[in-house]
Amino acid sequence: MITPNMHYADLQNSYLFYNIAQKTKAYLTEHPDRRLYRLGIGDVSLPLCDAVIKALHEAVEDQADPARFHGYMPECGDPALRTRIAAHYRSRGVMLEDEEVFVSSGASDELGDILDLFDCKSSALVIEPAYPAYVDANVMAGRKIIHLPSGKENAFLPEPSEEARVGIIYICSPNNPTGAVFTREKLQKWIDFANENGSVILFDAAYEAFIEDEALPRSIFELQGARTCAIEICSLSKTAGFTGTRFGYTVIPKDLVRKGMNLNEMWVRNRTTKTNGISYIIQKGAAAVFTEEGQRQTAENIRFYKENAKIITRALEEAGLWYCGGKNAPYIWLECPGGMDSWTFFDFLLEEIQVVGTPGEGFGSCGEGYFRFSTFGSRADTLEAAERIKRLLG
């Protein structure tokens, strides 16, 4: 009998969003007259901006015209788009070669696929609370996982741990769920640590566009030494509303070498074997994000979510709750009041004010006692949820 990948048996049930869906469904069945105010979702509520829609339409028309039709696209991305993304980095002072940029169908896909570059015997360090996919993707590969808890005491930005001498190091900045962003100084410590020990940092920059404080790094490649120890994974999902359209990009510097193997070259080999590229239409839409007009329009959408963040944080302040995030990130991370655990607080908000958030325990055990609000909801839901939070807890 064939042996399946038995590491799948080691996966914990992915109950976080399933449980939330079950609980909200049960509540609505019992109270069909009630409406829910959703601050739980990590999905965007605004549509794609005009510049992207126009480019997508044009690309569809291209596919109808024999003279402009595109078949297979280059596996690592349309060269013109790789150039454009490299220029986008350059405009922020980060020098990249075009061939160091790879296009992808999104950060989730890439975070899973990129693990092909590493031996299954290497360990993976996950700073928690964390985006749940980091742990699961490594459990599937049978890797040893080192959980590095973070908390209020280090502003959810822990220092390098001796345990993680050689391995994969996940850094998500701005962080989902805590909204914490690594300062240059703190990030530099991880870069130096990775270079000293031969580790590789997987830098998840899915929320970089939400950083407004100029002193904070938006790319790990703004820092000295990152070219020899880091891979950066980016996404247009939250930056430009591509959650359902699917597009991301990954930077693997040519200087990233471990045990004589060049990881950029390995990734070219991987992509040319395992993909046939990203859809022409989607790449055209993505390219529009990197135009002046596209940047202006996507920045407007981000400002909308930032306004949602202000509405929620003002309510939390009035209610006297401790929170962080929301300023340089689309997530707000709060402490559950009265020592409640995060699922009890979830039930309490649902029952009392019909507001839905995400229990912190779902992001790792050190997330217990905390709760996440997303700023990606509609303005109407956000305003009503904020009023209800003030009334209930203020």
Quote the least distance from Cβ 133 to ligand PLP, whole Å: 7
Quote the least distance from Cβ 323 to ligand PLP, whole Å: 18
Quote the least distance from Cβ 202 to ligand PLP, whole Å: 10
- List interacting residues with ligand PLP (CB under 6 A): 42, 106-108, 131, 172, 176, 204, 206, 235, 237, 243, 248
Quote the least distance from Cβ 237 to ligand PLP, whole Å: 3
CB nearer to ligand PLP: give 131 or 346: 131
In contact, 216 and 181? CB cutoff 8 Å: yes
CB nearer to ligand PLP: give 108 or 382: 108
Distance set, CA 23 to CA 41, 349, 351, 354 (Å): 14, 12, 10, 11
What distance in Å separates the CA atoms of residue 340 and residue 345, rounded to the nearest whole number? 6
Quote the least distance from Cβ 25 to ligand PLP, whole Å: 22
Distance set, CA 146 to CA 25, 155, 166 (Å): 35, 20, 11
Quote the least distance from Cβ 110 to ligand PLP, whole Å: 8
Question: How buried is residue 326: exposed, middle or buried, by Cβ count under 10 Å (0-12/13-18/19+)?
Answer: buried
DSSP state of 126: E
Closest listed residue to residue 105, CA positions, set 249, 273, 212 = 249
Quote the least distance from Cβ 2 to ligand PLP, whole Å: 30
CB nearer to ligand PLP: give 78 or 204: 204
CB nearer to ligand PLP: give 107 or 127: 107
Q: What is the signed CA dihedral for 278, 279, 284, 285, rounded to 10 degrees?
A: -90
Please name the residues in contact with 156: beta carbons below 8 A apart, sequence gap of 6 or more.
Answer: 129, 150, 175, 178, 180, 324, 333
Quote the least distance from Cβ 166 to ligand PLP, whole Å: 24
Sheet holding 331-335, edge to edge: 323-325, 331-335, 370-374, 358-359
Between the two ends of the chain, the Cα-to-Cα distance in Å is 62
* Gyration radius of the chain over CA positions: 21
Burial 131-153 (b: 16+ CB within 10 A, else e): bbebbbbbbebebebbbbbbeee
Largest CA distance in the chain: 67
CB nearer to ligand PLP: give 248 or 359: 248
CB nearer to ligand PLP: give 122 or 235: 235
Distance set, CA 14 to CA 11, 125, 147 (Å): 8, 20, 17
Quote the least distance from Cβ 131 to ligand PLP, whole Å: 4
CB nearer to ligand PLP: give 221 or 242: 242
Cα four-point dihedral sign 221, 187, 229, 133 = negative
CB nearer to ligand PLP: give 315 or 326: 326
Quote the least distance from Cβ 132 to ligand PLP, whole Å: 9
**Chain length of the chain:** 394
What distance in Å separates the CA atoms of residue 247 and residue 241, rounded to the nearest whole number? 10
